[in-house]
């Protein structure tokens, strides 16, 4: 039966309140503002790979919760992040996306900062003798920056636990493999997505939608053992799926897609031929392995209905041109703007957002349960990770994801 207005607007008839959320978490501007404060500025945010800031003076600019930032390798080899705004009149200092610099010069009045964020030069500084400030009062604001397995992260919150503690066991599927090689970024693209950053991230965490990708339908879903992988749920909102419950790897049959070969050459050390793994780091980083390719995927939220998604491909530094070309070819078959899967994923998020924005679907279901015989682990088409994500989100926000606005009203 089709549903009438009352049925459509009532909470879904599922077993518990963790099996659905309210769509306002994707669209409400107040919740978005609060998220910036309570979630995005209090958790570790992925910035870039260390190969992007290899030498002293190499920098990458980016932004988080609207704040312009610059991440730069100092002369002491340490990677730091600064709020990218001059202490004088507040202009954005470093204006390009990436590059190398000896020091940072603000283009407005030529004030200068060294790579450690100290203010080193004020033109015609005698003008400050009477009223101040002195250069010592004018250092850039530094943001906590740390590195895990070559991935650079920042955290606005000085009191947050260390990056290593934050990631914890969730590093297990990728840390060793990342450390087995010297990696570098060979692919980068960004896409403005008309949708919420969480919806983007959760598309990476929702393997049930593999039914819709022709690639996954042909090469993965129908593969023996596909459903025998468990979700490994980790503290702090993380999770991953990698090997089967019996410890054997999940191997994708790439040759099932017309004109593709299996991936048994150029496989990263520590992975089996064709092996697939994905690790989801709260709040929005996904680390994918597809035997020969590594993809780092995260997004920068701009507004409730707007995020900028970034994809990075990692390869082995110094490999031969032929090897790099083959690795690149395999990467862009599945990921990137001309790939089979990434554009499909963007379409899911945008088509969903188009409805949520207008209240056309007030709820988002995450009631799938597919338990293993052990009664504990859940299979990969279970929504267990989605529920875990929203549990962590609710905890940080102090609002239940299935009813965040009513809670708001009650609190007022």
Where in 75-114 is the site for another protein (CB under 8 A)? 96-99
Contact between 303 and another protein by CB under 8 A: the answer reads: no
Bridge partners (DSSP) of residue 300 are: 308
> Residue from 118, 369, 391, 407 that binds another protein (CB under 8 A)?
369
As measured in angstroms, the least distance from the Cβ of 161 to another protein is 30
Please identify, using beta-carbon distances, which residue of 118 and 367 lies nearer to another protein.
367
Residue 212 CB, nearest distance to another protein (Å)?
Answer: 6
Q: Which of 82, 70, 56, 59 is nearest to 140 (CA)?
A: 82
| Least separation in angstroms between CB 89 and another protein | 27
For 318-348, the DSSP string reads T--HHHHHHHHHHHHHHSSTTSSSHHHHHHH
- Cβ-based neighbour number of residue 70 at 10 Å: 26
Residues between 308 and 337 with contacts to another protein, criterion CB under 8 A: 325, 328-329, 332, 336-337
Beta bridge partners, 241, equal 278
Part of the chain binding another protein (CB under 8 A), chosen from 118-126, 133-141, 151-159, 181-189: 181-189
- Cα of 359 vs its chain's centroid, Å: 27
Dump strand ranges (E) for 135-282.
142-148, 151-155, 183-193, 232-234, 238-241, 276-281
Give which of 374, 392, 393, 371 is closest to 383, Cα–Cα: 371
Q: Of 292, 276, 212, 294, whose CA–CA distance to 240 is shortest? A: 276
Q: How far is the CB of 383 from another protein (least distance, A)?
A: 8
Residue 411 binds to another protein (criterion: CB under 8 A): no
Query: Residue 108: which residues within 8 A CB-CB, separation 6 or more?
Result: 86, 88, 89, 91
Half-sphere exposure of 322 (CA within 13 A, CB side): 2
232-234/363-365 β-pairing: unpaired
- Closest CB 129 distance from another protein, rounded Å: 41
> Candidates 31-39, 77-85, 180-188, 243-251 — which segment interacts with another protein by CB under 8 A?
180-188
Quick one: which of 24, 71, 87, 356 contacts another protein (CB under 8 A)?
356
Q: Is 16 in the site for another protein (CB under 8 A)?
A: yes
- Contact between 230 and 348 (Cβ < 8 Å): no
| Contact string (CB under 8 A) for another protein, positions 258-297, x = contact | xxx-------------------------------------
Are the C-beta atoms of residues 312 and 296 closer than 8 Å to each other?
yes
Question: CB–CB of 37/43 below 8 Å?
Answer: no
Which one among 52, 112, 275, 280 touches another protein, defined by CB under 8 A? Answer: 52
Stretch that binds another protein, among 30-38, 105-113, 296-304, 340-348 (CB under 8 A): 340-348
Report the site for another protein in 114-153 (rule: CB under 8 A): none
Stretch that binds another protein, among 125-133, 271-279, 282-290, 349-357 (CB under 8 A): 349-357
Site for another protein in 184-213 (CB under 8 A): 185-193, 206, 208-209, 211-212
Q: Does 27 bind another protein (CB under 8 A)?
A: no
Contacts with another protein by CB under 8 A: the residue count is 76
| Closer of 12 and 235 to another protein (Cβ) | 12
Residue 182 CB, nearest approach to another protein (Å) = 16
8 is a contact residue toward another protein (CB under 8 A)? yes
Write down the least CB distance from residue 334 to another protein, Å: 11
| By the rule CB under 8 A, 11 interacts with another protein | no
The reply to whether 400 sits near another protein by the rule CB under 8 A is no
CA distances for 172 relative to 169, 240, 253, angstroms: 5, 9, 24
Helix, strand, or coil here: 252?
A: coil
* Residue 341 CB-density burial (10 A; 0-12 exposed, 13-18 middle, 19+ buried): middle
Euclidean distance between CA atoms 225 and 297, whole angstroms: 26
Candidate list 102, 343, 395, 406; residue touching another protein; CB under 8 A:
343
Indicate the residue among 238 and 387 with the shorter CB distance to another protein. 387
**Per-position b or e across 11-45, b if 16+ CB within 10 A of its CB:** eeeeeeebbbbbbbbbbbeebbebbbebbbbebbb
Q: Which of residues 208-247 bind another protein (CB under 8 A)?
A: 208-209, 211-212, 214
Q: Please identify, using beta-carbon distances, which residue of 1 and 131 lies nearer to another protein.
A: 1
Nearer to another protein, 337 or 398 (CB): 337
**CA dist., res. 292 & res. 315, Å (int):** 8
Tally Cβ neighbours within 10 Å of residue 163.
19
CB of 356 to another protein, least distance (A): 5
């Amino acid at each position: 039966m089709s549903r009438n207005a009352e049925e459509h607007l009532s909470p879904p008839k599922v077993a518990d309140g963790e099996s659905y959320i309210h769509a306002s978490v994707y669209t409400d501007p107040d919740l978005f503002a609060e998220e910036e404060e309570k979630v995005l500025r209090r958790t570790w945010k992925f910035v870039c790979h260390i190969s992007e800031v290899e030498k002293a003076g190499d920098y990458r600019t980016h932004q988080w919760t609207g704040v312009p930032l610059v991440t730069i390798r100092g002369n002491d080899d340490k990677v730091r992040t600064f709020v990218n705004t001059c202490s004088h009149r507040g202009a954005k200092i470093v204006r390009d996306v990436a590059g190398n610099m000896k020091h940072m010069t603000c283009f407005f009045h030529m004030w200068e900062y060294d790579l450690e964020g100290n203010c080193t030069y004020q033109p015609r500084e005698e003008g400050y003798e009477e009223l101040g400030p002195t250069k010592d009062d004018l250092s850039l604001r530094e943001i906590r920056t740390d590195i895990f397995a070559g991935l650079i992260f920042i955290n606005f919150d000085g009191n947050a636990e260390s990056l290593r503690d934050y990631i914890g066991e969730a590093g297990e599927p990728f840390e060793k493999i990342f450390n087995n090689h010297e990696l570098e970024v060979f692919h980068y693209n960004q896409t403005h997505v008309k949708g919420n950053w969480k919806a983007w991230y959760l598309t990476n965490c929702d393997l049930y939608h593999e039914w819709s990708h022709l690639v996954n339908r042909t090469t993965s879903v129908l593969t023996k053992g596909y459903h025998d992988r468990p979700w490994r749920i980790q503290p702090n909102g993380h999770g991953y799926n990698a090997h089967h419950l019996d410890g054997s790897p999940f191997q994708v049959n790439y040759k099932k897609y017309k004109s593709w070969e299996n991936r048994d050459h150029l496989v990263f050390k520590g992975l089996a031929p064709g092996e697939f793994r994905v690790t989801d780091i709260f709040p929005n980083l996904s680390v994918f392995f597809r035997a020969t390719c590594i993809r780092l995927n995260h997004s920068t939220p701009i507004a409730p209905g707007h995020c900028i998604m970034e994809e990075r491909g990692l390869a082995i530094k110094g490999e031969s041109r032929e090897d790099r070309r083959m690795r690149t070819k395999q990467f862009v078959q599945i990921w990137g703007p001309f790939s089979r899967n990434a554009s499909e994923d963007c379409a899911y998020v945008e088509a969903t957002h188009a409805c949520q924005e207008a209240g056309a679907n007030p709820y988002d279901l995450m009631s799938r349960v597919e338990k293993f015989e052990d009664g504990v682990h859940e299979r990969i088409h279970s929504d267990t990770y989605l529920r875990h994500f929203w549990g962590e989100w609710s905890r940080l926000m102090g609002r239940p994801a299935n009813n965040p606005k009513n809670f708001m009203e009650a609190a007022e």
